[in-house]
Amino acid sequence: MSRTVKAGAIAAAAMCCVALMGAQATGALAETGQTGAEPAQVPVEPEAGSDELPRFYSAEVVQPLPEIPEPDARSLAALVETMPADLPMSRDVMCLAQAIYFEARGEPLDGQLAVGAVIVNRTNSNRYPGDYCSVVTQPGQFSFVRRGRIPSPDESSLAWTRAKAVAQIAHQDLWDSAAGEALFFHARYVRPGWARNKVQLAAIESHIFYR
């Protein structure tokens, strides 16, 4: 191999080593949450007379959390009004809002929140699926669901705006629901047999809630 080729190979190898060392340093910064040029690790010098090499310990990175304004908690209605109408929603929270809309849009806000609480409680129970969409579309659970599909709400209506706000409140657990830990509910005008074996927790407008 000629000197020129060898020199080129050595230079290429050196460049690879530098690039590799740079990539490792970048990874260390990402793992510790640092984005600047400050070192992510703090060296600890060995004792005098020791042949031990310096050791490195990860430095704790403390960053101030952004201040989040406290929600207006004077009443559920006031809290609903403070919720941004254009707040982005995941598909799962959208399913929760749709269920509140179709099951309880004619109910007072505490009744809507109670319906939302039942769905949230079910996702936290090992007896039901672990996400809102699967809970809502589970066969035989909600009458507005057709062949596993949730209909589209009237997105221009005030009822939909409120249902979205109530869904966010239920999802984030911003207000205690009178339904508590309820997993079931039904309309007052029906008398399902399963209700005889449940503990009633609340009766809100036209719905009764059970655990």
Q: What is the CA radius of gyration of the chain?
A: 29
Neighbours of 11 (CB within 10 A): 10
13 and 80 both lie in a single domain:
no
15 and 105 both lie in a single domain:
no
Q: Which residues contact 48 (CB under 8 A, 6 or more apart)?
A: none
**Does residue 69 fall inside a structural domain?**
no
According to DSSP, the residues that pair with 187 across neighbouring strands are: 207
Judged by average pLDDT, the poorest of 53-67, 70-84, 126-140, 186-200 is 53-67
Read off the pLDDT band of 11 (50, 70, 90).
very low
**Does residue 185 fall inside a structural domain?**
yes
38 and 140 both lie in a single domain:
no
115 and 192 both lie in a single domain:
yes
44 and 98 both lie in a single domain:
no
Closest CA to 208 of 178, 166, 175: 178
Percent of the chain with pLDDT over 90: 63
**Does residue 148 fall inside a structural domain?**
yes
CA distance 181 to 127: 14
120 and 157 both lie in a single domain:
yes
- The pLDDT value recorded for residue 87 is 84
* 3-class state of residue 157 by DSSP: coil
103 and 182 both lie in a single domain:
yes
126 and 189 both lie in a single domain:
yes
Residue 13: pLDDT over 60: no
Helix intervals (H) in the chain: 3-32, 76-82, 91-104, 109-123, 132-136, 158-172
204 and 169 both lie in a single domain:
yes
Under 8 Å between Cβ of 119 and 142? no
Total domains, the chain: 2
User: What pLDDT, in 10s, does the model give residues 81-129?
Assistant: 999 988 889 999 999 999 999 999 999 999 999 999 999 999 999 999 9
Residue 35: pLDDT over 90: no
52 and 143 both lie in a single domain:
no
**Does residue 65 fall inside a structural domain?**
no
CA distance 134 to 3: 68
> Of 3-7, 26-30, 60-64, 199-203, which has the strongest mean pLDDT?
199-203
Strands 55-58 and 41-44, sheet pairing: antiparallel
User: What pLDDT, in 10s, does the model give residues 40-60?
Assistant: 454 555 555 555 555 544 444
- The pLDDT value recorded for residue 199 is 97
81 and 148 both lie in a single domain:
yes
Angle at 40 between CA 34 and CA 43, to 5 degrees: 165
Average pLDDT, the chain: 79
The last residue of a domain, from among 14, 31, 58:
58
Residues of the domain holding 181 = 76-210
User: What is the rounded average pLDDT of the residues 20-42?
Assistant: 41
**Does residue 120 fall inside a structural domain?**
yes
Taking the whole predicted model, whether its pTM rises above 0.75 is answered as no
Strands 200-204 and 55-58, sheet pairing: unpaired
**Does residue 199 fall inside a structural domain?**
yes
Q: What are φ and ψ of residue 104, in 5° steps?
A: -145, 20
| pLDDT greater at residue 79 or residue 33 | 79
DSSP string across 158-211: HHHHHHHHHHHHHHHT-S--TTTT--EEEETT---GGGGGS-EEEEETTEEEE-
CA distance 54 to 6: 35
**Does residue 68 fall inside a structural domain?**
no
- The pLDDT value recorded for residue 20 is 40
